């Protein structure tokens, strides 16, 4: 007999607590009465977490995925960690007498295909890895260097792993700052955390359950907190270690519609939210209080996206008035408008290029990606390649590489010749 084996009473207690957590309190009470198990009838997800650990362990042992070559040393500092902080980026002073820059010569170097529309993508903070999320509920983890440098060899596979754990479409992704964890959120009302350091594991090691579809997530630069915006108007802030969820109780601070996107600034001192209610809100991360509201940011239409510049002085927004705007956060005034694409229906997600010289966004009137000069607002390039609407553009933090996500089921990787 194994002395470490879990007892019958412990098993029954776990079952009862799990039933309470799922909302079956009456059933849980019946089980407790029938078995005489000692329980406090408090909700707990410990049983499902233990089962998930066992399932992942079994998959890890059975998997033949080769991930041993990936350097995910938790103790080794990354030379590129401060790359975003060191890039000079955009500043309003540079707008005076500015002339449009020549856009990069984007060449398609690779594409990967999902089984449904590709909805979202992200690069890790060091630019070595990227991930995509799809309507088919799957995620793909990609090796950027292999996307850049295709050799044609049998081992030349940029897709490191395909991750499955959601039940509905994936809406947003966020890499933990340590590069070892990828978070995803979905219409299935959950946030999943995937451990990328475990070879072959394709399912989440931890999940955060909400009561609403989760539209957007963002890790704090410290990695200790995770923001979440959902179909309702309240901002969620999760403590990653304890899984405790905090929300702002002040109705005056809340949006009046679903949160479409949520993003921390580069240092994490502030964060921003966009909403179907047509407003953009800037929040203090320490107090979780709203410190500025941009009312009618896009003429009263829904706002689909928010992005801070690296210096945290400016904010880019996109909305259903077919306009991208750049705002001065302190004054709340518009510095520049970018017009030339159409956005009337879809929640398109734009991106700054790594040096913030350009803004890239999809176009409902075509299958192109539109490239604007940040300083002048000029439309300087259209990037073709897809066969359907481009919903999301993600930009590498270290070079001109971009990932474009489309309803043609594909994510395409483009880069300029001097960066490839």
pLDDT at residue 7, as a whole number:
84
Calculate helix-pair angle for 8-21, 46-62, nearest 10 degrees: 100
Q: For 285-418, where are the E strands, in sequence order? A: 290-294, 303-308, 314-319, 323-328, 333-338, 351-352, 358-362, 369-373, 379-383, 390-395, 402-406, 410-415
Categorize the per-residue pLDDT at 259 as very low, low, confident or very high, splitting at 50, 70 and 90: very high
pLDDT at residue 6, as a whole number:
80
Categorize the per-residue pLDDT at 35 as very low, low, confident or very high, splitting at 50, 70 and 90: confident
Highest-scoring range by mean pLDDT, 29-43, 57-71, 126-140, 405-419: 126-140
Which of 75-79, 190-194, 347-351 bottoms out in mean pLDDT, i.e. has the lowest? 75-79
What rounded mean pLDDT belongs to the chain?
A: 88
CA–CA gap between residue 220 and residue 300 (Å, rounded): 29
Q: Mean per-residue pLDDT for 389-406?
A: 98
Q: Mean per-residue pLDDT for 295-299?
A: 97
- Asked if pLDDT for residue 223 goes beyond 70, the answer is yes
Categorize the per-residue pLDDT at 369 as very low, low, confident or very high, splitting at 50, 70 and 90: very high
Q: Mean per-residue pLDDT for 28-51?
A: 81
From the list 83, 155, 116, 95, the residue with the least C-alpha distance to 310 is: 83
pLDDT at residue 198, as a whole number:
86
Categorize the per-residue pLDDT at 88 as very low, low, confident or very high, splitting at 50, 70 and 90: low
């Amino acid at each position: 007999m194994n002395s470490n084996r879990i007892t019958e009473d412990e098993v029954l207690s776990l079952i009862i607590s799990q039933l309470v957590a799922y909302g079956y309190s009456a059933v849980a009470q019946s089980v407790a009465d029938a078995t005489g198990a000692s329980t406090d009838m408090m909700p707990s997800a410990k049983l499902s977490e233990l089962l998930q650990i066992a399932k992942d362990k079994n998959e890890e042992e059975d998997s033949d995925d080769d991930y041993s070559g990936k350097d995910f040393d938790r103790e080794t500092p990354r030379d590129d960690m401060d790359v975003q902080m060191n890039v000079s980026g955009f500043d309003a002073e540079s707008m005076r007498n500015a002339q449009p820059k020549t856009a990069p010569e984007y060449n398609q170097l690779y594409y990967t295909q999902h089984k449904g529309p590709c909805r979202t993508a992200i690069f890790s903070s060091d630019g070595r890895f990227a991930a995509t999320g799809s309507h088919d509920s799957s995620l793909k983890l990609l090796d950027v260097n292999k996307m850049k440098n295709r050799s044609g060899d049998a081992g030349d596979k940029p897709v490191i792993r395909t991750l499955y754990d959601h039940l509905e479409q994936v809406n947003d992704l966020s890499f933990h700052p340590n590069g070892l964890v990828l978070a995803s959120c979905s219409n299935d009302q959950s946030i999943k955390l995937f451990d990328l350091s475990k070879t072959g594991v394709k399912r989440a090691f931890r999940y955060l359950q909400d009561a609403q579809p989760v539209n957007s997530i963002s890790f704090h630069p410290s990695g200790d907190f995770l923001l979440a915006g959902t179909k309702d108007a309240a901002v969620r802030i999760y403590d990653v270690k304890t899984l405790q969820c905090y929300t702002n109780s002040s109705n005056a601070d809340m949006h009046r519609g679903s949160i479409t996107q949520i993003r921390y600034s580069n240092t994490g001192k502030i964060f921003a939210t966009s909403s179907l209610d047509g407003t953009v809100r800037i929040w203090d991360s320490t107090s979780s209080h709203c410190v500025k509201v941009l009312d009618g940011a896009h003429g009263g239409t829904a706002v689909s996206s928010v992005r801070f510049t690296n210096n945290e002085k400016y904010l880019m927004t996109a909305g259903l008035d077919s306009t991208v705007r750049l705002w001065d956060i302190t004054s709340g005034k518009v510095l520049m408008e970018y017009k030339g694409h159409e956005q009337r229906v879809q929640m398109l997600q734009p991106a700054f290029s790594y040096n913030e010289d350009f803004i890239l966004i999809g176009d409902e009137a075509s299958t192109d990606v539109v490239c604007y000069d940040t300083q002048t607002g000029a439309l300087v390039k259209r990037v073709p390649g897809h066969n359907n609407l481009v919903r999301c553009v993600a930009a590498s933090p270290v070079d001109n590489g971009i990932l474009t996500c489309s309803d043609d089921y594909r994510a395409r990787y483009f880069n300029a010749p001097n960066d490839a």
